[in-house]
Every structure is written in C-alpha cells, then in structure tokens.
C-alpha cells in the first residue's frame, strides 16, 4: 500500500525486496497480494521483470538481495522509496548501501515525493542485533529512526486463536518473537537450551525427575518431604512499564538438585507485595522466604518480617549480575536445575521463564529484564552456601543471608 501511494506521479519508482524471489511468491506473499489488487486494473504486470507499470508511467518493482554483493544489481538505479520485507534476514551493509539508490530531481512533480526507506520484519534472524540497535533500543536507536511495533492483536484479519495454537509447537523464544513482536526474545548465550532438556512431571504430591536416556524410573520425591524455600526479587511499582516482582519457589532434592516448583510475576506497590508473597509462602509451606533487600525494596523485607513468615535477607553484596549468576550457570550446566515439563505445572509461566533465561547475557545494557534470573541466582547461592540441606529441613541453612527463621 505504501509503495503505491505515489503511483499517480510520472517517473515515480518503488522497489520492494526480499531475500529471494520464491519468498515473494509464497501464498499470501507480496507478489500474489499485488496481483489480487491490481490485476484487471489499468496497471500492467511484467512477469519477466517482476514489475508493475501504472498509467502515469510509475513503477513498482519486486527484487531480491541474497548476498551483500546483490545490492550492486541496483547500482545506477534511482528509486523514491525502497521497502525491505523481513529486514532481519539482511546485513546492515546491504541496508545502508540502498540509501544511495534513493534519489529524485530538484524540480517537477517527482521533486515533491518524499524519499522513503522502510523495513518490515519479525524479530530474530541473523540481522536481529543491528535492527534492534538501529530501531528498537532507545539507547542505541539511530537519530530519526522510527519504530512501529506490531503484535498479534494488531492483525485483526488473522484467526488469532488458531495461530496461537500453531505457535504452541515452536520454542518459547520464537513464540515470543512472532506472537508479541518481542525484540528481547533472543538467546544471549549464557544459559544453554540443552541444559534444561530434562524436565520433571507431577503425579499428585510426587515429582518424577528423570533425565533423557536415564535407566529406570528416575528420582521420585514427595513434595512435602523435601525442603522448600522461595527467592523474591521485589520491584516496588504497579506501573505497566515497570519491572516485575518475581517470586520463585524451590524444592531441594535428596541429591541436592533445585526443582523449580512455582514462579509468580506481578507488578505492585510495596504494601501490596507482601500479601502476595505471603500467599505463596502459605501455599507451599515454605521453610523461609528469601527477599532481596536493596534500596527501596528493603521495605518489602521489613514489612514481611513482621508477618508470620520466616524471612531471609538476600544481598547482592556489590557483585555484578553475571558474577552473581555464576553458581546458577554452573548448576544449570550440570543439569541440577529442573523446570517442569510443559503442562506439568498449570499456572507456571514457562514461556516467560524460558524466554528470560535463554536470552540472558549478564549485561544490564542488553538485558531488558533479569528479575527471573536473579531469583535463580539467589537460589543457587543459597544451596551452594548451605551445603546439603535437602531432606533434613532447615538445620544447615546458610548464615550469610541473615534474617530470622
């Protein structure tokens, strides 16, 4: 539609690009769509050149960029607008070169046409990093660059229910990219996907922990016979764009693995946080609630300590986030952190958990959120500093975290 905006102007020329021609010809792709609109009108289609010519003489051409050198096929050409579909399939070098093809005369009707470079894309792909940096990230966005986000709800012509069902078969990162247009849903490389290939399932009060290829029935534990505790990273705000308070519930197995029983994410002010975490404490009959107490969030610990909850102060001790997460990274690499299998724990926000874990870089400038990772980091540190605390209760819980029992 945007390419056709000025086809009434003589000499106007637009270029629409994909990585290859087959992508342009897929069902419901750009060339079939253009034929739906313009076949039977006064516009003429040239199959060989893949070009529409309008009565004014204006043209819309479909092209491809399958390599960096492919840009030179347009050397010497002049367009008033260039549109690149699925921009993250392309390198920044290709994108920047095409600006040299945007030209118009100083006088005449064509001089009044604005020069436009546009891209449309899903997150992901090999160009994800530079596209995000140029358009999305407010800290690195190119001056004057415009970013218009789009999500499933912005596409009313699509059958949203069926599309969401289809996306249940893809991984959480891809699902977040396609469903929500989430530009932060990209693997950061610290936690590896294969470290979480083992998942637990539930049978009433019992958990079955069996690794892929493991002989026998695996480890079977009864929830109420193992130590359970929680780690909380508070965020004292109810604003929609604020960080989330995250409460993760952990069970320690007889072999000192961490089992992620529950994870709650919500936005609330300090007085409203405490009743929420107290409800988690009661539901799981926890040994203690560990709460990060830094800055304003110290008020959460203060209020929580006045309740019947046994609380523990969690203090980052001046460590940066990546150093703090090192123990959790090691535990994950050793297969000692267990997430639920899909559907095993109704209400567990598995997509949110996997998404944040797998895109975690440890760089605060790159990580949009890391609250979930923080709760994992604290849990691993508690287990590491506390030694073997699995079946015997809370007798040997780490003193370094302070608080009361």
Of 148, 175, 201, the one marking the end of a domain is 148
CATH number at residue 313: 3.30.420.240
- Residues in CB range of 135: below 8 A, 6 or more apart: 119, 141, 142, 145, 146, 147
Same domain? 180 vs 212: no
Q: How far is CA 329 from the centre of its chain?
A: 19
Q: Do 251 and 394 lie in a common domain?
A: yes
Instruction: Find all residues with CB under 8 Å of 167, minimum gap 6, and list them.
Output: 174, 175, 178, 179
CA neighbor of 294 nearest in space, from 272, 317, 312: 317
Q: Which two tokens stand for residue 57?
A: 């003489």
Strand, coil or helix: what is 112? Answer: helix
Residue 114 tokens read as: 């604005």
pLDDT attached to residue 241: 44
Q: Which of 81, 67, 177, 73 is nearest to 131 (CA)?
A: 177
Q: What are phi and psi of 393, to 5 degrees?
A: 95, -150
DSSP characters for 251-303? EE-TT--EEEEEEEEE-B-HHHHHHHHHHHHHHHT-S-EEEE--GGGHHHHHH
In this structure, are 214 and 114 located in the same domain?
A: no
Residues 176 and 71 in one domain: no
88, 120, 148 — which closes off a domain?
148
pLDDT at residue 200, as a whole number? 97
The pLDDT tens digits of the residues spanning 339-389 come to 999 889 999 988 889 888 988 888 877 777 789 999 999 999 999 987 544
Do 144 and 156 lie in one domain? The reply is: no
**Residues near 11 by Cβ (< 8 Å), separated by ≥ 6?**
57, 58, 105, 108, 109, 110
Whole-angstrom distance, CA of residue 276 vs CA of residue 90: 46
By three-state DSSP, how is residue 171 classified?
coil
Query: Structure tokens of 120?
Result: 């449309």
| Domain co-membership, 123 together with 167 | no
- Greater confidence (200 vs 138) lies with 200
Q: How many DSSP H helices and E strands does the chain contain?
A: 12, 15
Q: Is the pLDDT of residue 170 over 90?
A: no
The last residue of one of the domains, among 185, 208, 241, is: 185
| pLDDT of amino acid 163 | 85
**How confident is the model over 171-181, as pLDDT tens digits?**
676 777 888 78
pLDDT at 402 over 60: no
CATH code of the domain covering residue 50? 3.40.50
Do 179 and 252 belong together in one domain? no
More confident residue, 295 or 20: 20
3-state class of 331 per DSSP? Answer: helix
> Both 165 and 268 in a single domain?
no
User: In angstroms, what CA-CA distances link 299 with 73, 279, 362?
Assistant: 63, 18, 26
Could you report the per-residue pLDDT of 215-238, keeping only the tens digit for each? 888 999 999 999 999 999 998 765
Predicted local confidence at residue 391, as pLDDT: 36
Task: Read off the pLDDT band of 306 (50, 70, 90).
Answer: very high
* Alpha carbon distance 210, 196 (integer Å): 12
Length of the chain: 405
Residue 361 CB partners (closer than 8 Å, separation 6+)? 188, 189, 190, 367
In 121-241, the DSSP E strands lie at: 199-203, 206-209, 219-222, 228-233
Per the structure, the count of domains in the chain is: 3
pLDDT, tens digit, for every residue of 3-59?
999 999 999 999 999 999 899 999 889 999 999 999 999 999 999 999 999 999 999
Higher pLDDT, 168 or 288: 288
Residues 294 and 162 in one domain: no
Domain that holds residue 326: 193-401
* Residue matched to tokens 């969401």: 164
Shared domain for 246 and 315, answered yes or no, is yes
Please tell me whether residues 115 and 170 are part of one structural domain. no
| Sheet containing 337-340, strands listed edge to edge, beginning at the edge strand earlier in sequence | 219-222, 206-209, 199-203, 337-340, 258-266, 245-252, 228-233, 289-292, 311-314
Same domain, 346 and 237: yes
Residues 74-78, mean pLDDT to the nearest whole number:
93
């Amino acid at each position: 539609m945007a390419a056709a905006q000025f086809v009434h102007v003589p000499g106007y020329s637009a270029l629409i690009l994909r990585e290859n021609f087959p992508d342009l010809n897929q069902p419901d792709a750009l060339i079939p769509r253009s034929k739906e609109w313009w076949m039977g009108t006064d516009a003429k289609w040239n199959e060989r050149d893949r070009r529409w010519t309008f009565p004014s003489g204006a043209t819309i051409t479909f092209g491809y960029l399958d390599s960096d050198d492919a840009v030179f096929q347009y050397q010497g050409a002049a367009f008033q607008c260039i549109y690149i579909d699925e921009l993250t399939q392309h390198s920044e070098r290709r994108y920047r070169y095409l600006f040299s093809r945007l030209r118009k005369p100083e006088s005449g009707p064509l001089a009044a046409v604005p020069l436009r470079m546009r891209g449309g894309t899903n997150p992901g792909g090999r160009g994800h990093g530079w596209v995000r940096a140029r358009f999305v990230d407010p800290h690195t966005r190119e001056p004057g660059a415009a970013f218009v986000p789009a999500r499933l709800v912005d596409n009313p012509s699509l059958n949203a229910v069926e599309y969401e069902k289809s996306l249940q078969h893809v991984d959480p990162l891809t699902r977040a990219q396609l469903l929500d247009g989430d530009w932060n849903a990209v693997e950061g490389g610290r936690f590896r996907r294969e470290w979480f290939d083992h998942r637990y399932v539930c049978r009433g009060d019992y958990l079955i922990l069996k690794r892929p290829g493991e002989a026998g029935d695996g480890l079977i534990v009864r929830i109420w016979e193992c130590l359970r505790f929680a780690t909380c990273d508070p965020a004292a705000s109810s604003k929609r764009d604020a960080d989330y308070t995250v409460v993760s519930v952990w069970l320690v197995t007889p072999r000192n693995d961490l089992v992620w029983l529950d994870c709650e994410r919500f936005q609330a002010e300090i007085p409203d946080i405490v009743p929420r975490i107290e409800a988690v404490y009661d539901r799981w009959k926890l040994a203690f609630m560990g709460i990060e107490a830094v800055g304003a969030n110290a008020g959460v610990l203060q209020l929580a300590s006045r309740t019947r909850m046994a609380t523990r102060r969690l203090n980052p001790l001046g460590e940066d986030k990546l150093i703090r997460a090192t123990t959790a990274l090691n535990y994950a690499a050793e297969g000692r952190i267990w997430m639920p299998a899909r559907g095993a724990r109704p209400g567990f926000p598995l997509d949110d958990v996997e998404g944040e874990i797998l895109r975690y870089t440890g760089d605060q400038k790159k990580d949009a959120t890391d609250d979930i990772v923080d709760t994992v980091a604290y849990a691993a540190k508690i287990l590491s500093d506390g030694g073997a605390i699995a079946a015997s209760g809370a007798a040997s819980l780490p003193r370094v975290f302070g608080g009361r029992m």
